[in-house]
Homo-oligomer: A and B are copies of this chain.
């Protein structure tokens, strides 16, 4: 059995690494904070002092950190993976980061004889804890097949999007574009209904029976009506993901006007101390403009 490494033990990474441990794998772990490293060491993980040490001791290295610069630092920074990684190792980046930078990282690793998969997830903290994450994977099919058993320990809906590095990240960005714009769709529709004097709950019910049906209308629509804006998925993370979409679009030569508007509405909610609310709180920006709440 391959020796595993896991770098990044936050609210996502810690439960994910725990699932691998619980499946009797050897897991070498590292995080910038020492607390979660100690915690997992008590459960049998091999505590490491930096990413370089993880790479030294592992054949498959999972990464789960917040953003593109964090992945870059883990891989190519001081005491990073590249300083000690062995040829024929596999790096599996499960963070949600730039698809364009992912391609560059894969190229640099390839020059060291190291294979890479990008495998961002959706499903949030709950999905990580319950091992029900959706995992979107880019990279060579034979590498995917090799890593699939580990994915199956951490998630449920595991899709190999394509053979190119970055294909998983592209899919994740596309996912976040759809999620953000559908939240805006539901926000504008329910606020319209409420301000016009109809019962937005009845409207939601009716719309779920037709072409307007979506999981967002079902779940986030209910949140808006019940004012349940505790996260869930935080607006600060949605902003990060839409930033990836808009920056990549600019690089690729692509105009995303709806995504840009949605981002501005998230910015408006954040400006009113809403960064840590659930992304369904986008509706609050529109409510402020209309001087009216969906639930009034």
Contacts and interface: CB of A to CB of B under 8 A. Distances in A.
Contact of A211 (B195, B216, B248): B216
A178 B189 contact: yes
Interface residues of A, number: 74
A294 to B, nearest CB: 11
A157 interface: yes
A56 interface: no
A81 interface: no
Interface string A121-163: 0110000000000101010000000000000000001010110
Interface stretch (A1-9, A14-22, A249-257): A249-257
A171 B198 contact: yes
Q: Indicate how many identical chains form the complex.
A: 2
Given A191-B254, A192-B256, A213-B214, A203 B174 contact: yes
A116 interface: no
A272 B91 CA distance: 48
Given A161-B202, A170-B198, A185 B178 contact: yes
Given A161-B206, A199-B162, A256 B188 contact: yes
A258 B164 contact: no
A36 interface: no
A262 interface: yes
Given A255-B289, A258-B262, A261-B257, A209 B134 contact: yes
Interface in A80-120: 99-100
Interface in A246-286: 248-249, 252-259, 261-262, 264-265, 286
Contacts of A185: 177-178, 180-182, 185, 258
Given A171-B203, A177-B185, A265-B257, A159 B209 contact: yes
A251 B196 CA distance: 10
A193 interface: yes
A182 B157 CA distance: 23
A255 B157 CA distance: 38
Contacts of A180: 185
Given A171-B203, A181-B258, A188-B258, 11 more contacts: A100-B196, A122-B211, A134-B210, A166-B197, A166-B198, A171-B206, A178-B212, A196-B252, A214-B216, A257-B286, A258-B258
Interface of A: 99-100, 122-123, 134, 136, 138, 157, 159, 161-162, 164, 166-167, 170-171, 173-175, 177-182, 184-186, 188-193, 195-199, 202-203, 205-207, 209-217, 219, 245, 248-249, 252-259, 261-262, 264-265, 286, 289-292
